[in-house]
Amino acid sequence: MTASLLDSPEPAPEWTLADLFAVLVRRRAWLLGSVALCSALALLYGLAATRRYRATAEIEIQKESRGAFGLDNTTTDKPVNAVADSFDLNLTLQTETSILESDSLALDVIRRTGLETTPDYFAPAPGHLAWRHSPLFWRTPLEPLSVPLAQAPNRRYAALKIFARHLKITQLPGTRLIRIAYSDPDPARAAAVVNGLIQAFSDYNFHSRSSSAAQSASWLATQLAGLKQQTESLDARAAALQNATGSYGDDPSHNVVLARLDELNAQLAAAQSGRIVREAVWRAVQSGDPEALSSLAGNASGGSSTQNSWALLQSLRAQETTAKAQLAESANRYGDNWPAVAEQRARLATIQRSIQDEIRRLGDRARSDYEIALQSENAARQAFNQQKDLAARITGSAAAARLLRQEADESRALYTTLLGRLQQAGVLEGLHSGNFTILSPARIPPPGHPTSPNLPLLAAVALAAGLTTGSAAALFRELTDNAIHTPADLESLLEVPVFTALPTRQPTRPWYRRLLPAPASVALALDAAAASDFAIPAPESPYVDALHRLRASLLLARSSQPPRIITIVPAQPTPLSRPASLPASSPNPYLEPTQPSLALNLAAILAQHGSPVLYVDADLRSAPPAGVFPADPGLSDVLASSADPAYDHPSPWPPLLSVLHTGPRPPCPSELIASPRMADLLARWRQEFQFIVINSPAVAYADALVLAQSSDAVLLTAQAGKSQRGETLSAFHTLSRQIPDHAVLGLIFEDAPTGARYV
């Protein structure tokens, strides 16, 4: 069990919501402290922050359709239809928003309203807040206010940054509305800035539109003179070309040259078709293949003699086929030597010679027809090319004339349109208005309702920040905490069950009593133990119930007989001011009058049930110096000499309880504990007492290991929130290797939190 646990790493725990809630409850000091800190900071900010007021206005951007040259198309005869879709609307809203946020409008508003002399800008703020603007622009010194803002780049940069920080322009989703808001410590100034920005925006639109109309009119006046001259020149050139070509119109169907060209083109196509057919016949006749000639018979053209030759050839081919069939039938029936077969063969040869003669005659005739068709095609092509050249010359001039006429007409129409626009420009220049409507102007906000600081929002942010930071700090502390807090942590670490979990014995006292000096605080801590018959908490307390369960577990730990020598060993060394081993009524000036130790309480519980019990305080390392204890010899005195031990029977503890204190602090505690004298005392005590409860030092000392080897039961104690995982694990494995085989090794968890499982 020991080696495997030491070598294998501890598995990472899987947290549930209940575990997370338990962590937050256990670390509630971090959580509550973070919430308190954030709340205090928010409160300080709310008290120190300047009260600011926000004025708001809304404007509606109108749909706009602009014609050519920046002129309004609503005053023209033929308006230009603009595409007004969602994309164009969104683009227009973004453009107008960017104009409202531009530096030029901001500088205009700053100049009009005199913002530079206000506390938000460059006027000294009252009192201790005079420094708040200086850290923002410390890199470059600002020019004095006597210098114009246009000539002060550093001051202009700072003013624009401050103005942009206090200005907020938003587009209302799904509408053509733009909301303009500005915050300032003065409510009237905030409203004046917003209205000034709207006025600057209106002036900008008016000047831009008026300037556009004026520039368009000036440009139109310059272009009209040249356009008029160009129109007249185009008309003259078009008339000259029409006279040169003799054309009486622009319709091609009324042109004789083009009509003759179409006729020659049709003749050339027919000649080419006839030549191709005759050439194909001639090539087929040259091959001498009757099958090929037969396939061309239906496509061949020519005179009556040619048609007769094709008909004769087809007849001879039919006769040849019939003769071949008769010859084959006779040869198969009568044999080749039959006289009729010879006659049929001679007849077939005669038909074949006739076919060849007819093919030759047809070839001569096809060649003659091909040469005639070729000559006809060449003549038709020559005539077509001549007419084509003539038509090209005439058609090119006519097309040029048509183009010139068309350009002249378009130039004349454009001249007429621009002349009308020029006449309107003077009127339109003064009629332009803005493309927006003021839906709601900025009004002075009420002085009793500042927008900043927003106390409810500030409180919510502080609470959220405190909870978030506190939760993160609590989780971080939990993850980095190596201490053991619950019995479940101890069981999961050592993988063995806990004998019992003892609740805390610290009495609940008001917070103001905890501020008392140490002696008074310790005296108050004993108030809860005064009502009991002995110096442990009242019998009805959870701590005493847990001690009774521990006694029962010890008595049942071994099946043969209960353990006699019980050693209680802490997992880690205790501080020098350890809990008292004797009752508070003991006249011991060394021991602080605090609550008794676990070993003493367990001995009292065992003695309460009628068994003689000896409590031995063997923690010699925490013993007082020589001369502090009374003259009665303690454990160190008994081990260093042959004197008999003197037992105390403190009142009002159980009469069967005997106590042996440590005595003065020896120079070598481990040598005394490991001496034969200690072994003899343990053997003697086995004869005199039913149970011997030994309070041992921590496992880190050799004294504890020696005592564990002589014990029947070793109880390893771990304190909630104080015992570290590494020390506890090392102590458990060290004891498991040192105790004898018959001994019992158990775990006790002290100061268990409220609600823990007590076994």
Q: What is the pLDDT of residues 566-594, one digit of tens each?
A: 999 998 876 544 444 444 344 443 334 44
Q: Is the pLDDT of residue 10 over 80?
A: no
Say if residue 666 is preceded by a cis peptide, omega within 30 of 0. Answer: no
Asked, for residue 232, whether it belongs to a domain, the answer is no
Asked, for residue 7, whether it belongs to a domain, the answer is yes
Asked, for residue 367, whether it belongs to a domain, the answer is yes
pLDDT at site 394:
64
Asked, for residue 175, whether it belongs to a domain, the answer is no
Lowest-confidence region among 3-12, 396-405, 565-574: 3-12
Lowest-confidence region among 72-76, 492-496, 574-578: 72-76
Residue 348 shares a structural domain with residue 362: yes
Task: Identify the domain containing residue 633 by its residue range.
Answer: 483-752
pLDDT at site 423:
61
Query: Residue 745: left if φ>0, alpha if ψ -120 to 50, beta else—which one?
Result: beta
Which ranges of 500-648 would DSSP assign to H, the alpha helix? 518-525, 542-555, 598-608, 635-640
Residue 461 shares a structural domain with residue 568: no
Tell me the pTM. 0.49
Average pLDDT along the chain: 74
pLDDT at site 295:
55
Residue 459 shares a structural domain with residue 497: no
Residue 584 shares a structural domain with residue 672: yes
Alpha carbons 650 and 591: distance in angstroms, whole number = 15
Asked, for residue 660, whether it belongs to a domain, the answer is yes
Q: Is the pLDDT of residue 202 over 60?
A: yes
Residue 463 shares a structural domain with residue 525: no
Residue 400 shares a structural domain with residue 528: no
Structure-block tokens of residue 93 = 């809203």
Residue 494 shares a structural domain with residue 471: no
| Stronger pLDDT, 454 or 402, i.e. the higher one | 454
pLDDT > 90: percent of the chain: 10
CATH code, domain with 656: 3.40.50.300
Asked, for residue 626, whether it belongs to a domain, the answer is yes
Asked, for residue 233, whether it belongs to a domain, the answer is no
Residue 387 shares a structural domain with residue 490: no
Lowest-confidence region among 48-52, 122-126, 436-440: 122-126
CB contact set of 425 (below 8 Å; sequence gap of 6+): 71, 213, 214, 216, 217, 220
214-263 confidence digits (pLDDT tens): 666 666 667 666 666 667 676 666 666 655 554 545 555 555 666 776 77
pLDDT at site 523:
37
Mean pLDDT of 128-141: 47
Residue 397 shares a structural domain with residue 470: no
Lowest-confidence region among 4-18, 74-88, 139-153, 163-177: 74-88
- The answer to whether 743 touches 16, Cβ cutoff 8 Å, is no
Alpha carbons 615 and 576: distance in angstroms, whole number = 20
Residue 396 shares a structural domain with residue 511: no
pLDDT at site 631:
53
Asked, for residue 236, whether it belongs to a domain, the answer is no
Q: Buried b / exposed e across 565-590, counting CB within 10 Å, b at 16+? A: bbbbbbbbbbeeebbbbbbbebebee
Residue 408 shares a structural domain with residue 466: no
Mean pLDDT of 597-620: 87
DSSP letter at 170? E
Number of domains in the chain: 3
Cα-trace Rg, the chain: 61
Among candidate residues 447, 481, 515, the one where a domain is terminated:
481
Among candidate residues 446, 466, 481, the one where a domain is terminated:
481
pLDDT at site 440:
86
pLDDT at site 137:
45
pLDDT-based confidence at 722, cuts 50/70/90? confident
Residue 521 shares a structural domain with residue 658: yes
